[in-house]
Amino acid sequence: MTTLLINQPNFDGHVTPTGHPERADRIRAVDDALAKSRFDALLRRPAPSGDLTLAELVHSTKYMSILRDARPAEGIGQIDGDTFISSTSLDTVSTALGGALAALDAVLLGEADNAFCAIRPPGHHAEFDSPMGFCLVNTIAIVAREAQRKYGAERVAIVDFDVHHGNGTQDIFKSDPSVFYASSHQMPLYPGSGKPSETGVGNITNAPLDPDTDGEAMREAYIGRIFPALVNFSPDLILISAGFDAHERDPLAQLNWTTQDFGWLTGKLMDVAERHCGNRIVSLLEGGYDLKGLAGGVSHHVAMLMDGAIGRLEE
């Protein structure tokens, strides 16, 4: 496998208040973890600036105006109770998008089998007309639309293993049978969506997990519910909303996944990608707020993308 790692040069341009869980140190922790010799074989590229007008592929025409109006000339502005925007946040959002689209290009043009994008801020809570939940622009939704618009992908699957339900991604695609969305997430938990009964037009599969459950419950949910629906969809491309806040150390939730659980799940998604879409996977970082848990989860995720082996990883 050739795995592309996209790094974000200006990840610290999106400034959040002191003590906020979604902070620049998250990317530093990921970068440090992936700088180890275990990952020397990664193909590495910096994220270029992206075209934020592409947000109109998945958001309302007024959406970027909402963000620009909320952006302060200096310092930090507040959009809602936990979502902030600083004077340089949109530059950071632009490179997050540019990096994700560069990963899409590399995978669909055959330069890499799969890719992981170490980018921030996350995006899966951003709805059609509303930023929320630390998220400003729904990056993975734009990538899905670009795969269709630019490359003619007919069936794009998004699998979201962040501990919080990706209400924004579901909101954007709930009426579109050409995009499959599946999510495992803790329930009850923010944002409150993601019930099994939320099925869109047959393209949405939600597998809520009870608080304090572990990787065994996750495996049952994927084997029994998500993988059969994903295989039935037979995607041309798999996109992953890779949140690592289901880790047992994470302060924002109460699931008890280990680092090995993220490796297991990645391997199973690779099996589906091998059978249905020529190994094509593009993974985007979403949540994960304990730095050690985040680094460990990302390490197992990326190692599995590289070669399906996690035995040489340090815990």
Closest CA to 241 of 122, 110, 98: 122
Closest CA to 111 of 99, 102, 121, 98: 102
**Tokens at 149, concatenated:** 């618009």
Question: Could you report how far apart the first and last alpha carbons of the chain are, in Å?
Answer: 23
> What is the edge-to-edge ordering of all strands in the sheet holding 3-7?
43-46, 3-7, 114-118, 281-285, 237-242, 156-160, 179-186, 204-209
| Residues across the chain | 315
Q: Could you tell me if 112 and 4 are in contact, meaning their C-beta atoms sit under 8 angstroms apart?
A: yes
Please identify every residue annotated as catalytic.
125
3-class secondary structure, 4: strand
Q: Which residues pair with 45 in a beta bridge?
A: 6
Query: How far is C-alpha 63 from the chain's CA centre?
Result: 21
CA-CA distance, 129 to 287, in Å (whole number)?
Answer: 21
Which H or E run includes 87?
A: none
**Tokens at 118, concatenated:** 């170490």
Q: Say which residue the tokens 């799940």 belong to.
A: 265
